[in-house]
């Protein structure tokens, strides 16, 4: 009987550890940062992400803004992190977080250029990946 009590106790400890590990992933924060790199800093950029918040941000050359978002709710089918980017003579949309594309990090640093957004990676062989506008 002592063996079965030890087995049950071991299982309870294992369940608590696994449950704790799972819950820590739920509270993880996703950081998304956008930096204006338009025309060597001479163009202002207006960024709006209406499915995330109602505010828009005016970024002068080189300025950045970042959002903290609950990664778990975004990954579980929440609204995409779709943003509009406007500057003199141009307007574009881009999804700043896509779980199938951005699964490898909880910090996404984007540089906005005229040709499209570029994601800065913190890896030696893959420092920056640029995308086309949607």
Our CA angle for 122, 124, 68, nearest 5°, is 5
> Which of 133, 134, 94 shows the shortest CA–CA distance to 114?
133
More confident residue, 42 or 16: 42
pLDDT tens digits for 36-89? 999 988 999 999 998 888 899 999 999 999 998 764 444 444 457 899 999 999
Nearest-angstrom CA–CA distance, 7 and 14: 10
What proportion of the chain, given as a percentage, has pLDDT over 70? Answer: 69
Report whether pLDDT(103) > 70.
Answer: yes
The whole-number pLDDT of residue 104 equals 82
- Name the pTM for this structure: 0.71
| Mean of pLDDT values over 120-125 | 76
Residue 21's pLDDT band (cuts 50, 70, 90): very low
The whole-number pLDDT of residue 106 equals 86
Going from N- to C-terminal start, the domains of the chain cover 28-130
The domain defined by 28-130 carries CATH number 2.60.40: yes
Our CA angle for 61, 106, 51, nearest 5°, is 65
């Amino acid at each position: 009987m002592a063996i079965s009590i030890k087995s049950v106790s071991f299982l309870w400890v294992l369940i608590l550890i696994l449950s704790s590990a799972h819950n820590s992933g739920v509270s993880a924060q996703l950081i998304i940062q956008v930096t204006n790199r338009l025309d060597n800093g001479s163009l202002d950029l207006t960024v709006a992400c209406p499915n995330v918040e109602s505010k828009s941000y005016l970024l002068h050359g080189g300025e950045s803004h970042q959002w903290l978002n609950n990664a778990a709710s975004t990954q579980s089918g929440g609204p995409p992190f779709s943003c509009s980017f406007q500057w003199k003579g141009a307007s574009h949309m881009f999804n700043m977080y896509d779980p199938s594309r951005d699964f490898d990090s909880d910090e996404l640093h984007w540089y906005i250029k005229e040709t499209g957004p570029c994601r800065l990676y913190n890896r030696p062989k893959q420092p920056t990946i640029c995308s086309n506008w949607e």
